[in-house]
């Protein structure tokens, strides 16, 4: 299409009705699609999600604003469908971009009466409360990784699937796994890597037999669920019902569900359903071809009216139909700021407690001005949305793009000030000078604090590479100190499943990958690596149970004391004060409560490999978290004047 002025085109052609897609209305089924430049559009009805079983092709009628529609005088629940569009004399068949259900491998949409997909008592399922985003403790996992390994203890027909999250009582050698593990650890939200229908996994092969693997950042159908995570991907209703069963199970255990969404690019460019529906409208272009700000071959033109509408409609659908508790936006830096704010407004209409956060960067250069994009440095223009704190991540463990780089916990004390800034929620604070690039948050609710995610090496592998000269025991202490920094910082803590028991991702030399050198036996980009690399090995929890217990103690401490979860920058300034410890590299700060009990917590962080002594503010203190995660506050022993700090450790005290 040769559209020179998209703003003018949108003013004349954009459609804002809420009825795009396939809708069952009484005993009729209505189909509507926006394709203002198509010469003709046909609706194709099929009996199955694949194969030669066409029922009929029906010409659609064009009306104002480029809408093509047809109403079939029967309830087509369970029937599959596609559209055929004609441009420049060429006809192409494709799935409806508004399809909310699909057949095997996502090539045909499915008409579904969603009321028939609800599990028992679905209408009674409530979203868990999350009054402030800073009350959340987010735990990231991939559906397949969670249970695919036999050590998960999950029933074979549920392993690697949505239903694994519904099975309780699983264990490995007496150690809780999967759902019981989530409950025991105390996290508030599970963040799921993409669960929408993605392109690179053949759903015909059962997931327990499927050697292909992908995280799912290869979007095919944004509003349909991935079939490989269901027990029967041929039946659209099965994947929907089983996903709802998972949400129900987690909600009944007071755990919210966050989904990872990828509204920044499509897996295919010319062959994508968006391009076939309306060539070049849905994607940004440069030099008359797809621009590549995602690094994946294209990028969505979110600033255009009907792309923006599509994203808003999609997010609202997930939030309402599946009772989703949060959205994580992949490469959010590619989404324009106006759209980001409108998404937040839309989610507030559904449920103001829904979390929204994303990556404040892109995967390449976009033709849209950086001043209009949701980059981290533009954060004050979308202050209600969280951003991943890569500054704190790199300061804690070392830069992720330099595998040998060290961080605060592994001996690079030059990152001291950035760690301090992260502890204060990355908001302005009168006691912190410098590290201005790390001061990006308007309020602590805007910073997602983390040191491990699916991207890059796990924390344990990063330490194994960059801190190779240290003993394993010292690296375990580094891991625990990293966790303490993340969970004792203002903002929203984010962990990856398995981080709490030293998860490792070994490289597998099976022809698909080769070891680069002796210093890199670990996989730092495992998006398509086999289960041997990506799956959670639950025996590692048994082997590292003391680390798990430490993380659990940190989470419990964070939940207990509200001053660890301040949500306003003014609160951080007035209630969080740094104090002199006698050593500039040992960080010390106090947090006072605004509640009636006026409790005061003191936190000390020792990055040194030996025992150190640090000065304390005036008063008597009891230990509420030692280097083993223990609470000594019930004993009669108190500390005043100074405290002895174990090597590479955090100490948390309560003023008596």
Percent of the chain clearing pLDDT 90 (strictly above): 95
pLDDT average, residue stretch 281-306 = 97
Sheet holding 21-25, edge to edge: 21-25, 28-34, 67-72, 61-62
pLDDT average, residue stretch 377-393 = 98
pLDDT at position 302: 98
pLDDT at position 433: 87
List the CATH number of the domain containing 444.
3.20.20.80
164 in the same domain as 100? no
3-state secondary structure 13-34: HCCCCCCCEEEEECCEEEEEEE
pLDDT at position 513: 46
pLDDT at position 636: 87
Contact between 524 and 403 under an 8 Å Cβ cutoff? The reply is yes
In tens, the pLDDT along 156-197 reads: 999 999 999 999 999 999 999 999 999 999 999 999 999 999
Contact between 621 and 643 under an 8 Å Cβ cutoff? The reply is yes
List the CATH number of the domain containing 10.
2.60.40.10
For the chain, the distance separating the N- and C-terminal CA atoms, rounded to the nearest angstrom, is 72
Please state, rounded to an integer, the average pLDDT across all residues of the chain.
96
Residue 125 lies in a domain: no
Whether the pLDDT of residue 514 is over 90: the answer is: no
Residue 643 lies in a domain: yes
Q: Provide the β-strand partners of residue 219.
A: 198
In tens, the pLDDT along 545-569 reads: 999 999 999 999 999 999 999 999 9
List the CATH number of the domain containing 604.
2.60.40.1180
Sorting pLDDT into bands at 50, 70 and 90, what band is 594?
Answer: confident
| Better pLDDT: 139 or 636 | 139
207 in the same domain as 301? yes
554 in the same domain as 637? no
533 in the same domain as 464? yes
316 in the same domain as 423? yes
Residue 246 lies in a domain: yes
Residue with tokens 């090496």: 457
Final residue before a domain boundary, out of 62, 91, 117? 117
Range of the domain at 227: 133-563
Burial of 32 (0-12, 13-18, 19+ CB in 10 A): buried
Question: What's the number of domains the chain is made of?
Answer: 3
Residue 568 lies in a domain: no
Sorting pLDDT into bands at 50, 70 and 90, what band is 231?
Answer: very high
pLDDT at position 597: 73
Helix then strand count (H, E) for the chain reads: 15, 30
Contact between 116 and 298 under an 8 Å Cβ cutoff? The reply is no
Residue 211 lies in a domain: yes
308 in the same domain as 386? yes
pLDDT at position 435: 73
183 in the same domain as 45? no
Whether the pLDDT of residue 648 is over 70: the answer is: yes
In tens, the pLDDT along 190-205 reads: 999 999 999 999 999 9
| Better pLDDT: 515 or 596 | 596
250 in the same domain as 174? yes
137 in the same domain as 34? no
Final residue before a domain boundary, out of 563, 594, 612? 563
Catalytic residues: 330, 359
Final residue before a domain boundary, out of 563, 585, 615? 563
Residue 1 lies in a domain: no
Q: Provide the β-strand partners of residue 197.
A: 221
pLDDT at position 511: 47
pLDDT average, residue stretch 320-333 = 98
602 in the same domain as 549? no
Residue 124 lies in a domain: no
Residue with tokens 């192409």: 92
550 in the same domain as 651? no
385 in the same domain as 245? yes
Whether the pLDDT of residue 428 is over 90: the answer is: yes
Q: How far is CA 229 from CA 37, 97, 141, 226, 233, in A?
A: 37, 21, 14, 6, 8
Residue 90 lies in a domain: yes
Question: Which H or E run contains 147?
Answer: helix 143-147
Sorting pLDDT into bands at 50, 70 and 90, what band is 518?
Answer: low
pLDDT average, residue stretch 252-260 = 98
DSSP state letters, 286-349 = ETTEE--TTSSS--B-TTSHHHHHHHHHHHHHHHHHS---EEEETTGGGSBHHHHHHHHHHHHH
Sorting pLDDT into bands at 50, 70 and 90, what band is 598?
Answer: confident
pLDDT average, residue stretch 432-438 = 84
């Amino acid at each position: 299409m040769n559209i020179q002025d998209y703003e003018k085109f949108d003013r004349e052609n954009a459609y804002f009705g809420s009825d795009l897609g396939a809708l069952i209305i009484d005993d009729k089924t209505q189909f509507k699609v926006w394709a203002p430049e198509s010469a003709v559009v046909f609706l194709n009805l099929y009996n199955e999600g694949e194969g030669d079983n066409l029922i009929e092709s029906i010409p659609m009628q064009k009306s104002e604003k480029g809408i093509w529609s047809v109403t079939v005088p029967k309830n087509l629940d369970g029937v599959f469908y596609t559209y055929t569009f004609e441009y420049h004399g060429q006809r192409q068949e494709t799935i409806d971009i508004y399809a909310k259900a699909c057949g095997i491998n996502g090539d045909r949409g499915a008409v579904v009466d969603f009321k028939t997909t609800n599990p028992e008592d679905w209408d009674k399922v409530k979203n868990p409360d999350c009054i402030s985003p800073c009350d959340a403790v987010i735990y990231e996992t991939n559906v397949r990784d969670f249970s695919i390994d036999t050590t998960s203890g999950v029933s074979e027909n549920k392993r690697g699937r949505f239903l694994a999250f519904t099975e309780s009582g699983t264990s490995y050698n007496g150690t809780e796994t999967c759902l019981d593990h989530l409950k025991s650890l105390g996290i508030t939200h599970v963040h799921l890597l993409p669960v929408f229908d993605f392109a690179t996994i053949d759903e015909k092969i059962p997931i327990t037999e499927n050697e292909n693997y992908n995280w799912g950042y290869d979007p095919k159908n944004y509003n349909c669920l991935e079939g490989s995570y269901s027990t029967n991907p041929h039946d659209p209703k099965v994947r929907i019902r089983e996903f709802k069963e998972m949400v129900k199970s987690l909600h009944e255990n007071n755990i919210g569900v966050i989904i990872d969404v990828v509204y920044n690019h499509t897996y295919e460019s010319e062959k994508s359903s968006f391009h076939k529906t309306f060539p070049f409208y849905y994607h940004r272009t440069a030099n008359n071809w797809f621009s590549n700000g995602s690094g994946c071959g294209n990028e969505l033109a979110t600033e255009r009216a009907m792309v923006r509408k599509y994203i808003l409609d999609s997010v609202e659908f997930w939030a309402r139909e599946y009772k989703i508790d949060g959205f994580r936006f992949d490469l959010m830096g590619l989404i324009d700021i106006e759209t980001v704010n409108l998404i937040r407004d839309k989610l507030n209409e559904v449920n103001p407690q829904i979390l929204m956060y994303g990556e404040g960067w892109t995967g390449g250069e976009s033709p849209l001005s950086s001043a209009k994009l949701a980059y981290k440095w533009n954060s004050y223009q979308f202050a209600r949305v969280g951003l991943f704190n890569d500054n704190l991540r790199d300061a804690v463990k070392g830069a992720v793009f330099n595998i040998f780089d060290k961080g605060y916990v592994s001996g690079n004390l030059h990152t001291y000030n950035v760690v301090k800034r992260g502890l204060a929620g990355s908001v302005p604070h009168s006691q912190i000078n410098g590290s201005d690039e790390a001061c990006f948050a308007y309020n602590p609710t805007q910073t997602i604090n983390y040191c491990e995610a699916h991207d890059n090496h796990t924390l344990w592998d990063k330490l194994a590479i960059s801190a190779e000269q240290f003993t394993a025991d010292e690296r375990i202490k580094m891991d625990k100190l990293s966790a303490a920094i993340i969970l004792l910082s203002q903002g929203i803590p984010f962990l990856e499943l398995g981080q709490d028991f030293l998860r490792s991702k070994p490289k597998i030399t099976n022809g698909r990958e080769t070891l680069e050198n002796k210093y890199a036996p670990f996989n730092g980009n495992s998006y398509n690596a086999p289960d041997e690399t990506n799956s959670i090995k639950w025996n590692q929890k048994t082997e590292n149970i003391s680390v798990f217990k430490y993380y659990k103690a940190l989470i419990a401490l964070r939940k207990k004391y509200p001053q660890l979860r301040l949500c306003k920058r003014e609160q951080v300034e007035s209630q969080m004060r740094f104090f002199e410890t006698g050593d500039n590299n040992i960080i010390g700060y106090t947090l006072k409560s605004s509640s009636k009990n006026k409790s005061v917590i003191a936190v000390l962080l020792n990055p040194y490999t030996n025992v150190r002594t640090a000065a304390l503010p005036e008063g008597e203190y009891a230990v509420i978290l030692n280097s083993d995660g223990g609470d000594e506050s019930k004993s009669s022993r108190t500390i005043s004047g100074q405290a002895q700090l174990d090597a590479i450790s955090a100490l948390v005290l309560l003023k008596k």
